[in-house]
Amino acid sequence: MMAENSILPTVAGGKGTFSSDTEKEAEVLSGQTSTLKRKHESESEEYVSPTKKLDTGEGHSQKVATHYNRLQECGLAERSRSRIIHLRNFNNWMKSVLIGEILDKVGRGHRGVAVLDLGCGKGGDLLKWRKARISRLVCADIADVSVEQCRQRYNDMRSRGYPGERIFNAEFITADCARELLSEKLSDPKLRFDVCSCQFVYHYSFESEAQADTMLRNACERLRPGGFFIGTTPDAYELVKRLEASDSNSFGNEVYRVTFQQKGSYPLFGCQYDFSLEGVVNVPEFLVYFPLFEEMAKRYNMRLVYKKTFHEFFEEKIKNEQNKILMQRMQGLEAYPGDDRARLASDSPGEYDHAEKIAENHGVRLPLGTLSKSEWEATSIYLVFVFEKMP
Ligand SMILES: C[S@@+](CC[C@H](N)C(=O)[O-])C[C@H]1O[C@@H](n2cnc3c(N)ncnc32)[C@H](O)[C@@H]1O
């Protein structure tokens, strides 16, 4: 049940609804009970704290690569202590549901499905591709250390696969996808993709029209007709709305902060802001004005199927029972009230008022599944998009 008049995601649960076993994520994602044993196939990117901004003397692309190369994986124990563990899991659930929906459309398992993971990072989505039973994956990223970690993760996954399992073939490319053409780097120049997935990446390219266009070209030019370009990116409308409501050039809360250089003027390209999560300053990002993005995509014969805010996407997809089960297993929502052993992710006043209000209602099954207010404010900046390649 959704919270009435609330923008905060809250789902009624029931005792025992929430698993405390994070390994179950891997089980659900792979569809194989045996994967419960595979302890370290973590599904989401995790970051430790490079606390300083990077040297601005380097070119922007180099800064992005250096930044992501420096971020390290942290273990499950450290991850589960994170203030934003549920936010990360929630974002991961959003990607899983989106990928599942699109793979259903292209017909998973029937013929060889080829996917391009554009800005693959350390391979946070590898298990999703495995679950989707694709046959070929090309992973590309600007950060060479991340690409190597992604390759390593893939090799580990292959070597630990269950007997007889056919795990997709994969290829790994280090490239600035906003400046270099991937088609020139593919081992099979004739390869056509069914899906290009670009998760939390595209906004880096909106520094200039040429970069945004090259990234788009890489995403779309090798898609087969009927193929999809899917992704997640910050919603410029939401960012500017929050900025305009703030009395400074910055807004945020205890988990995230966005800082613009100025207010009132928003160029179509190169509109830079800094985004930090849990105090970690990220590399500069750029506003993606969606109507322009949609227009630019037409150059590559792409039709917008839909664009939804995270809020809209969540509300729609959580109605599906399978998605709800996946959410519970991935622990994308926090159990409220927490049990004796588990403290809530935040003890700041007001973080769970929305859940408390619902929990007081008679007949509501507890615990609820929710996010703290701050986490929800951070994740609801994003939107989901799906484009389809026209014949
Ligand atoms: C927030 S991470 C997302 C990683 C992954 N897609 C995920 O969802 O877990 C952003 C990624 O985009 C990559 N990236 C940024 N600009 C890029 C570019 N111009 N070319 C290729 N990769 C880029 C970064 O190196 C980083 O791995």
Which amino acids are annotated as binding site for S-adenosyl-L-methionine, given as ranges? 95, 119, 141, 176, 199, 204
Task: Name the pTM for this structure.
Answer: 0.86
Are residues 277 and 255 in contact, defined by beta-carbon separation less than 8 angstroms?
yes
Answer whether residue 290 shows pLDDT above 70.
Answer: yes
Mutation pick for ligand 1 pocket among 68, 153, 283, 379 (CB with most ligand atoms within 8 Å):
68
> Whole-angstrom Cα distance, residue 200 to residue 177?
14
Give the model's confidence band at 35: pLDDT under 50 very low, under 70 low, under 90 confident, else very high.
Answer: very low
User: What separation in Å is there between the alpha carbon of 184 and the centre of ligand 1?
Assistant: 20
Specify the ligand 1 atom closest to the Cα of 65: 25
C-alpha 192/C-alpha 190 separation (Å) is: 6
231-260 burial string, b = 16+ CB within 10 Å, else e?
A: bbbbbbebbbebbeeeeeeebbbbbbbbbb
* Average pLDDT across the chain, whole number: 85
**Ligand 1 centroid to 362 CA: how many Å?**
46
pLDDT of 31 > 50? The answer is no
- Ligand 1 pocket, residue 285 CB under 6 Å: no
Cα(68) to ligand 1 centroid in Å equals 8
3-state secondary structure of 29: helix
Give the count of beta carbons closer than 10 Å to the beta carbon of residue 300. Answer: 18
To which residue do tokens 């788009």 refer?
216
- Of all protein residues, whose CA lies closest to atom 3 belonging to ligand 1? 200
Residue nearest to atom 10 of ligand 1 (CA): 201
Q: Residue 211 has what pLDDT?
A: 97
Beta bridge partners of 259: 250, 274
Per the structure block, which two tokens stand in for 6?
Answer: 């609330």
Indicate whether 12 pLDDT > 90.
no
HSE-up (13 A, CA, CB side) for residue 323: 20
Regarding the beta carbon of 141 and ligand 1, being less than 6 Å apart is answered: yes
Distance CA 225, CA 43 (A): 30
pLDDT in tens, 159-195: 998 888 999 999 999 999 999 999 999 999 999 999 9
- Residue minimizing CA distance to atom 17 of ligand 1: 142
Q: pLDDT band for 28, please (50, 70, 90 cuts).
A: very low
Known binding residues for mRNA are: 91-92
**360-370 burial: b if 16+ Cβ within 10 Å, else e:** eeeeeeebbbb
pLDDT digits (tens, 9 = 90+) for 53-96: 333 344 578 888 888 887 766 555 555 568 999 999 999 999 99
